[in-house]
Amino acid sequence: MKRRLLLLVPLVLFLVLGAFLYQGLSINPFDRESALMAREFPAFELTTLDNPQQRVDEGDIKGEVTLVNVWGSWCPTCRQEMPQLLDLADRGVRLIGVDYKETAASDAEKRAQGQAFLTQFGNPFAFNVFDPLGSLGFDLGVYGAPETFLVDADGIIRYHHTGYITADDVESIIMPEVEKWR
Amino acid sequence: MALKAPSQGHPWLASVLLLTGWLLALQVMAEAIEVRRFESPVTEQRYQSLTATLRCPKCENQAIGDSNSPIAADMRDKVYEQLNDGRSDKEIIDFMVQRFGDYVLYNPRLEGRTLLLWGLPGALVVVGGLALWAIIRSRRRVSVRQLSAEEQARLDELIDRERRS
């Protein structure tokens, strides 16, 4: 009898492995925790989108719970995300944009691209950081836009949203996270 | 009657098409190739191995050396820049992990939470080996077992019957 039971070992192993691999099929590989979680917002020194003379750095992010949204006029999903960001701004959340790697050749044209995007789709941002080479994006570990970081008043990254924020996400994830860190 | 080969159209047309296709392919290849100059063959070797072992965060299953995605190109630029600054391989890898997480490592580090990952294959080989050893040993014991008198009698009878037929 005992020997008979031993014959079931391969079947059991197969079932365990099968269940393990099967649940792996439904895991979204982009749902992974940011490497910057609970770390300080990276240091940077750039200018604002509107004014090439106005310098900004990580100190300008601090002071209040803030959503930092990385976008670009070349990014179609960023357009679809805009209504949700405007909604968040209406609810009194402070948003700062990072205009990430516009595609035009010169900086002046890149700024024009970014500004045209905001004119057309709305501007929920307190200000926009102009990041033509993607250097701030790189330090944030951004690998595609849109991406959104929740930064607390001390400048610590508390939440990272990869990809598009849906209207549902605003209610179920973003607002609770904002409240949690306020 | 002379045999005629089936018509193949104008032979020059085929050559022109072939040449065009080849030139197009060349152009595509030229776009994908980045020209980089290295101080020494050793640095170039390090560049090749780093870009082959760092995983592109955007494309699920490609090394940054194989990927055309913009972030992979940015990462290659950073690797190149840091190699020229004299950073060590470990520093460069740490730099990437700090930003993009352990995901970018095709060779996960050996640490507490990756112990299972690294240890499991070895452990399975050991367990499998022990099981195999146990099975072989028990089989061998069965085969040397003496026949009982009853079995021996039946065997003799069978052999006897076989001989007579």
How many whole angstroms from its chain centre is CA B3?
53
Smallest Cβ distance to B100: which of A101, A134, A143?
A: A143
More confident residue, B123 or A5: B123
Tokens matching residue A52: 């090439």
> How many Cβ atoms sit within 10 Å of the Cβ of residue A149?
24
Inter-chain residue contact B100 with A33, CB threshold 8 Å: no
Measured N-to-C along each axis, helices B41-53 and B89-100 cross at an angle, to the nearest 10 degrees, of 30
Residue A33: list chain B partners with CB under 8 A.
101
Restricting to A residues 40-99, those with a Cβ less than 8 Å away from any Cβ of B are none
Structure confidence at residue B19 (pLDDT): 76
Inter-chain residue contact A143 with B71, CB threshold 8 Å: yes
Structure confidence at residue B23 (pLDDT): 67
CATH number assigned to the domain comprising residue A99: 3.40.30.10
d(CA A100, CA A90): 24
Structure confidence at residue A100 (pLDDT): 96
Residue of A nearest to B94 (CA): A35
- Number of structural domains chain A divides into: 1
Res. B1 pLDDT band, cuts 50 70 90: very low
Domains along chain B with CATH numbers:
33-107 (1.10.8.640), 115-164 (no CATH)
Q: Is residue A37 part of a domain?
A: yes
Helices and strands (H and E) in chain B: how many: 6, 0
Interface confidence, given as ipTM, is 0.85
Structure confidence at residue A29 (pLDDT): 72
Distance from CA of A91 to the nearest CA of B (A): 31
Helices and strands (H and E) in chain A: how many: 7, 7
Structure confidence at residue A92 (pLDDT): 95
Q: Where are the alpha helices (DSSP H) in chain A?
A: 2-6, 9-25, 76-90, 107-121, 135-139, 167-169, 175-181
Question: How does pLDDT run along chain A (182 residues), one tens digit per residue?
Answer: 677 888 898 899 999 999 999 998 888 777 777 888 999 999 999 999 999 999 999 999 999 999 999 999 999 999 999 999 999 999 999 999 999 999 999 999 999 999 999 999 999 999 999 999 999 999 999 998 899 999 999 999 999 998 899 999 999 999 999 999 98
* Segments forming the whole domain that contains residue A116: 32-181
pLDDT, tens only, B31-80: 556 788 898 999 999 999 999 999 999 887 899 999 999 999 999 999 99
Inter-chain residue contact B99 with A144, CB threshold 8 Å: no
Res. B9 pLDDT band, cuts 50 70 90: low
Span B129-158, average pLDDT: 86
Structure confidence at residue A78 (pLDDT): 95
Count of residues for chain B?
A: 165
Smallest Cβ distance to A32: which of B70, B74, B103?
A: B103
